Amino acid sequence: MKSVLVLYYSRGGHTARISRAIADHLASQGHQCDMMHISEAKAEGVDWAKYDVVALGACVLYGSYHKSVFEFVAAHQVELSAKASSFFSVNVVARNPEKRVPENNKYLQKFIELSAWKPNDVKVIAGKVDYPAWRWYDRMMIQLIMKITNGPTDPKSVIDYTDWDDVKVYADHLVSLAK
C-alpha cells in the first residue's frame, strides 16, 4: 500500500472532480490517498513525510495557470522535488489527441518553463467546456478562443473531454512512481 497526496487548483470544479477520481481509484486499489486544494494546503500545511507520492494538478484558463499555483510550487519546490511527484495539466486544448502529448501541449510546456519546480513526471488531461456554468465574460472570451481553434461555440454546450479511463491509468501510474 502506498500513500498519495493529490494537490490541486480548480476554478470551476472540474480539476477537483479529476482529483477526486484519482483519489477514489487509488482508495479502491487499497492505497491511502488524500486530496487538498492548494489553498487548503497553504493554510493548514502539508505533512510531506506522510506521503510516498505527490501529484499536483491545475487547470488552464486564458492560456495560463492561476498565480497561486506558481506561488505554491515556489514555496514548496524543495518538498516536491524530494518526493516522487507528478504534475497534471487540465486544459480544453487537450480535446485534440495530439495535444495530450506533453511535448505538444503549449500550456504544460509553459508551466515547466515558468515554474520553480521542474516535475520529472507530467500528464495532460483534457478538460471540460461548460458554457452555462461560466460567467458571461468568461463564456464570451472562451467562445472567441474556441472559434479561432475550431472548438465548440454554442453557448449551451457542456462537453466533458476527459478520458476517465485514462485518469485511472494515471492514478495507477502515480503509485508506480513511489520508491
pTM of the model: 0.93
3-state helix, strand, coil in the chain (%, to 5): 50, 25, 25
Environment class of residue 50 by beta-carbon count within 10 Å: exposed (0-12), middle (13-18) or buried (19+)? exposed
| Distance, CA of 145 to CA of 136 (rounded, Å) | 14
pLDDT tens digits, one per residue of 60-78 = 987 889 999 999 999 999 9
Q: Is residue 18's pLDDT more than 80?
A: yes
State the pLDDT at residue 134: 87
Q: Is residue 24's pLDDT more than 90?
A: yes
